[in-house]
Structure 1
Amino acid sequence: MTTIRVMTYNMLHAPGDRLEELAQVIQETQPDILACQEVDDIDGLMTLAQRSRMLPVIGHCNMPESEPAPEHVAILSRYPINRLVVHPCDTEAMFRPIFEVWIQPPNHQPIGFFTLHYRALPGPAGSNFKMREVGAMMEVLKQIEGPHCVLGDFNAWAPGEGDLSPTWGAQLPDDHRDAVRGPIVQQILDGGYVDTWRKANPSPDEPIGTLRGRNSRVDFIFADSIMASYAKESRIIRNPLTERASDHYPVLTIFEI
């Protein structure tokens, strides 16, 4: 049996002045696969990967969401990388691509990891940019065969989570506000994917937020039916170190294959 530790982490315009903290988070959590969002400094990411003894690959952004930060996505791996594809998808709606990376763990067929960072900013009213993002991703995933995970910062809540008050997002376009409050994640669940943290924590006793200072879970590790059957544990890494390292907490799922 092979244990694979998979983590997703929005690193807040990484590494910035937090290289030491981010390296320590990786050292303490020991992921085998790490999906990174908000990678602004590629040289810094190379240093972080070297410090972590992991192989880095980068999916360059389609366009910056906020100047001058490019906010690329990346994957770091302790295992060999077989193949990677950058899917720009709907470039009018999406600041970042869907980054597809196939990784070869020991004694198993390759596993696909699709990392993403959905937009935080609303588009023009009626543009439906948020739902266009998830629709474009699901079109990519329809073509995929083999075990895989979909992970990253979705900037959206699972159904029934987040701020459900009638006044939340009153200043936002209705299409953006409505999409954030369940339909994005629901479309992924309807596509046959499993929210691995929720599977492992059906009735959590602790705060479920992945955004620092807010009980708002927007970072997910979804698994197809094959990978979901291997998921044994999942947790949100909250401690004094992750409080300092980013404005998001990392999410870790442990698979036993």
Structure 2
Amino acid sequence: MTPFRLVTWNIREGGRGREDAIVATLAALKADVVLLQEATDPVVVEHLAHRTGMVQWGTSHRQSLGFLARVPVREVAWHRPRVSRHAFLELVPGGGGPHLFGVHLSAVHAAWTERRRVHEVRALLRTVAARASGFHVLAGDFNTLAPGEWLDVQRLPLRLRPFIWMSGGHIRWRTIQQVLDAGYADGYRVARPGETGFTFPTWQPHIRLDYVFLPSPGVATLTACEVVSSDTAARGSDHFPLVAEFAAEAG
């Protein structure tokens, strides 16, 4: 079956001024669909679509999530539960491919923001349960650590360290565990066990914030998942993009 390639990328504050690096990175990846976070500038998203040969693109007013698609999509919608800072993006690619849900959870490492992310993920999972039928993927910037992964507070910017101290120096990372408990597999960990997978920040990568999740029964369809840590990608954003490839067409 025809492989399906998905890219998820936080392009940082709309991406304006960094379009050349973003275009060069995406052109090399040849994705069928790109899920964008911080895609707040429709002019930039349209520009990216035209320069990368994508036939459809979209953003939602004052929302973070946007997309680029190589073929017309069959369905696209933004869902914003009351507890969520950003809307979730739902997208069904035309011509086959998994039912996609783009994610951008609340930022900042602190106990109270982790609690908010837990509520956001619960709302996301409720939305997915109501909307998805069959194979699907959750992908994006979850802004949190997976269970067992370590946050080096000394490597955080000085402006962010007080949030950790105000949390008592300890954060219980529960958001990703909640996704795993719901029956999803961490695509990067399936494809590249033992590797760090750091996606942020590009100038000194030491945290994995970006994820691709798929239902555990469908892991056999995942043929690749990797962080694109090129110099060109580093010029495009403070996050590295994450690319996943699926062997089976699923709708």
TM-score, normalized by length of structure 2?
0.86
Identity of aligned residues (%): 24
The answer to whether the aligner puts 1:83 opposite 2:75 as a matched pair is yes
Per the alignment, residue 58 of structure 2 pairs with 57
* SS of residue in 2 equivalent to 1:232: strand
Per the alignment, residue 85 of structure 2 pairs with 95
Superposition map of 1:171-190 within 5 A: 171-173=165-167, 178-179=171-172, 181=173, 183-190=174-181
For residues 199-251 of structure 1, give each alpha carbon's deviation from its aligned partner in whole angstroms, at most 9, with x where no partner exists. Answer: 001122xx421002131001001112454221011110011111211100000
* SS of residue in 1 equivalent to 2:13: strand
Which residue identity lines up with residue 39 of structure 1 in the other structure? A
Does the CA-based 8 Å contact 1:11-1:39 persist in structure 2? yes
Choose which of 210, 219, 223 in structure 1 pairs with 2:199. Answer: 210
Per-residue deviation at 1:87? 1.0
Query: CA separation in 2, counterparts of 1:145 and 1:40?
Result: 29
For residues 150-200 of structure 1, give each alpha carbon's deviation from its aligned partner in whole angstroms, at most 9, with x where no partner exists. Answer: 00000011111131779x7533446x9635x2x101111111111111100
Per-residue deviation at 1:15? 2.3
Per the alignment, residue 104 of structure 2 pairs with 117
* SS of residue in 2 equivalent to 1:171: helix
Change (3 A) 1:160 1:171: same
Per-residue deviation at 1:121? 4.1
Query: CA separation in 2, counterparts of 1:157 and 1:42?
Result: 30
Per-residue deviation at 1:128? 3.1
Q: Which runs of 5+ in 2 are unaligned?
A: 155-160
TM-score, normalized by length of structure 1?
0.84
Superposition map of 1:219-234 within 5 A: 219-225=210-216, 227-234=218-225
The answer to whether the aligner puts 1:170 opposite 2:164 as a matched pair is yes
For residues 5-36 of structure 1, give each alpha carbon's deviation from its aligned partner in whole angstroms, at most 9, with x where no partner exists. Answer: 11100001122101111110111111111100
Change (3 A) 1:125 1:18: closer
Per the alignment, residue 47 of structure 1 pairs with 47
Per the alignment, residue 133 of structure 1 pairs with 120
Superposition map of 1:8-27 within 5 A: 8-27=8-27
Change (3 A) 1:251 1:124: closer
Does the CA-based 8 Å contact 1:60-1:97 persist in structure 2? no
* SS of residue in 2 equivalent to 1:23: helix
Per-residue deviation at 1:124? 9.8
Does the CA-based 8 Å contact 2:108-2:143 persist in structure 1? no
Which residue identity lines up with residue 135 of structure 1 in the other structure? R
Change (3 A) 1:154 1:26: same
The answer to whether the aligner puts 1:104 opposite 2:94 as a matched pair is yes
More helix by share: 2
Query: CA separation in 2, counterparts of 1:124 and 1:229?
Result: 35
Query: CA separation in 1, counterparts of 2:179 and 2:40?
Result: 28
For residues 33-72 of structure 1, give each alpha carbon's deviation from its aligned partner in whole angstroms, at most 9, with x where no partner exists. Answer: 11000112111110111111111122444xxxxxxxxx52
Choose which of 175, 186, 201 in structure 2 pairs with 1:195. Answer: 186
* SS of residue in 2 equivalent to 1:120: coil
